[in-house]
Amino acid sequence: MRRSLRRFGGILLLVLAAAVVATALGSANIRLGDVLGIMASRLPGVGALVKPTWSTAHEMIVLRVRLPRVFLALVVGGGLSVAGVLFQGSLRNPLADPYIIGVSSGASLGAAVGLLVIIPRGLVGLGFLPLFAFAGAILATLAVARLGQRRGRLEPTSLLLAGVAMGAFLTAVVSLLMVLRIENLQDVYLWLMGSLSGRTWDHLLMALPYVGAGLLVALWLAKDLNVYLLGEEAAHSLGIDVQKVQRLVLISGSLMAAACVSVSGVIGFVGLMVPHALRLLVGAEHRRLILHSLWAGALFLLVADTLARTAFSPLEIPVGIITAFVGGPFFIYLLKRGSSFHG
């Protein structure tokens, strides 16, 4: 117990260090010491003791632009990964990801409707988009959950099929909207690829409660999910209320994924790859898997997003391109090494 506490302490330090370094990197190069100083100056109690050695411009960049983005990358990366663990475990399917039951296509349609039809030009980016995306994601998930029932029970195979069908249908609607109203094509397209560019503390505050609550539910269900891996009948005979677990996973996983998608767009591969990789590294025991996926997903998206905004500076590329670029080959490597779901 003490050993694992010390290990998680070390991991927390690693992630914080990465966050500080990522905040320092960028087109305006800010010294690490200044980043630490700016962060410390904002801490209650200590703040007054810090003597500013930096320019106001740098302070603005760190506090208004880079820090919210860095923290958002951590929250979205961790959230998508934990949601991925939940869906892969409860559907017992290695190809499940946080978007599998319609969250991403629902959010896309919501966002597209918002961008193309309802929000007047100029208002975009004022915080309407996440709300539209979130609503779309939740509506799509509710529809899939309804379609995925057989005789009143949620069933993994039906859920998966309903999710895939719903995804194809909604994506077609989004494409149609894009074709009919081409002037905003670029906005929708960029959003669909996923990006953390220009996000504010408000975006972070929108995603954080859902990710936090989802994480707690995931940890609460960890023991059930372990048993559930044995199959529904075996889990039942070990005292697990299978339907209750399914419903809770569906609700918490979808809310987490919807919150992440609504603030960051559709960032692919994180929620698929991170749980898969961690399962190979730390095993299938869910409490361990959830906690490790959390930090690994957070760190992965932070690194990917930092690359996205610095690699081709001043040009910024959508972070979804980076995650897929890294994720694709890595996934093939994992598959060659042997799948973790079938002996």
Partner 1 sequence: MDKMRLADVTYAYTDVPVVRGLNLSLKPGLFYGVVGPNGAGKSTLLKLLDGYIRPQRGTVYLNGKDLRTYALAELAREIALIPQTSFYFPFTVEEMVLLGRTPFYSRLGAPSEEDRRIARASMEVTGIAHLASRLVSDLSGGERQRVTIARAFAQETKVLLLDEPTTHLDLEHQINTCRLLKEKSGEGVTVLAVLHDLNLAASFCHRIFVLEAGELVAEGTPGDVLTPELIARVFKVSVPSLQHPVTGRPIIAP
Q: Which residues bind partner 1 (CB under 8 A)?
A: 92, 220, 223-224, 226-227, 229-231, 233-234, 236-241, 279-280, 283-285, 340-343
Angle between helices 286-310 and 201-220 (to 10 degrees): 160
Query: Among residues 92 and 247, whose Cβ is nearest to partner 1?
Result: 92
CB-wise, 230 or 251, nearer to partner 1? 230
Count Cα atoms within 13 angstroms, Cβ side, for 12.
Answer: 7
Nearer to partner 1, 202 or 241 (CB): 241
Cα separation, 215 vs 211, in Å, equals 6
What is the smallest separation between the CB atom of 152 and partner 1, expressed in angstroms?
A: 13
Around Cβ 216, how many Cβ atoms within 10 Å? 11
Smallest gap from Cβ 271 to partner 1, in A, equals 19
> Whole-number minimum distance, CB 235 to partner 1, in Å?
9
Q: Which amino acid is at 274?
A: V
Q: Which is nearer to partner 1, 25 or 274 (CB)?
A: 274
**Closest to partner 1 by CB, 226 or 306:** 226
Q: Compare residues 176 and 234 and give the one whose CB is closer to partner 1.
A: 234
Whole-number Å distance between alpha carbons of 258 and 130: 9
DSSP states along 275-329: HHHHHHHH-S-HHHHHHHHHHHHHHHHHHHHHHHHHTTTTS---HHHHHHHHHHH
- Cα–Cα separations (whole angstroms), residue 130 to 74, 209, 210: 18, 14, 13
Which residue, 82 or 240, has its beta carbon nearer to partner 1?
Answer: 240
Closest distance of CB 97 from partner 1, Å:
18
- Comparison of 97 and 224: residue with beta carbon closer to partner 1: 224
Give which of 101, 86, 194 is closest to 149, Cα–Cα: 101
Shortest Cβ distance from residue 279 to partner 1 (Å)? 6
Pairwise CA distance, residues 223 & 99, whole Å: 24
> DSSP strand E in 261-319: where?
none
CB of 221 to partner 1, least distance (A): 8
- To partner 1, the closest distance from the beta carbon of 211 in angstroms equals 20
> Rounded to the nearest 10 degrees, what angle do helices 32-41 and 2-24 cross at?
110
One-letter amino acid at 137 equals A
SS3 80: helix
Tokens found for residue 216: 């707690």
Would you give the DSSP letter of residue 256?
H
Q: How far is the CB of 222 from partner 1 (least distance, A)?
A: 8
Integer Cα distance of 150 and 133 in angstroms: 28
